[in-house]
Amino acid sequence: MSFLSRLLGTAPDPREEVRPLWHRVVELARDPAYYAECGVADSVAGRFDLITAVLSVVMVRVEASEMRSESALLAELFVEDMDGQLREFGVNDVVVGKRVGKLMSVLGGRLGAYRGALNAGDLDRLTAAVGRNVTFAEGADEAASAAAVADRLMKLSQRLARFSDAEMLKASAIW
């Protein structure tokens, strides 16, 4: 993409190819079972925690393929979405950049925490990472809740491993 194309906006946005995948990440993170059955707090913090967890699972799958650049595009869509969410919450322009930077740092940390466990297929390690990184509802049995969330994330990871790169990008409801 040339400088003028980017400047004038005449070239297609490369993120559009992975946007369906981003929307599927958000859809999976909003699955009511995480909140009703797994005890995740139905709050801004709990929903953010699940988006980063599901996004981490998807990014680990994408990184394991020939789609490494798509992983960066997914991170860009995460930033775009978080920027919009912060603005909706009334965070002013001066602070948005700093907060988005902090959220990216959080995503990076969680991706690192989940990546090793997912790549090793280590449910105990994933459960420990979920326990440290997910906000649970008041009164929830945090150990049982972390195990339930980790189990769902591991199963998602295993399902995603069965799909081709093209099927991943389509982000169909079958996975």
pLDDT at 65: 85
Query: In this prediction, what percent of the chain has a pLDDT beyond 90?
Result: 45
User: 14 Cβ partners below 8 Å, 6+ apart?
Assistant: 1, 73
pLDDT class for 45, splitting at 50, 70, 90?
A: confident
First-to-final CA distance of the chain: 32
The reported pLDDT for the residue numbered 152 is 97
What pLDDT is recorded for position 120? 95
pLDDT digits (tens, 9 = 90+) for 123-160: 999 999 999 999 999 999 999 999 999 999 999 999 99
- Whole-number pLDDT of residue 103: 65
pLDDT of res. 87: 54
* Domain ranges within the chain, ordered by starting residue: 14-161
Between 25-34, 35-44, 87-96, the lowest mean confidence (pLDDT) is in: 87-96
Alpha helices in the chain (DSSP H): 3-8, 19-29, 32-36, 44-63, 68-88, 93-120, 123-133, 142-161, 165-170
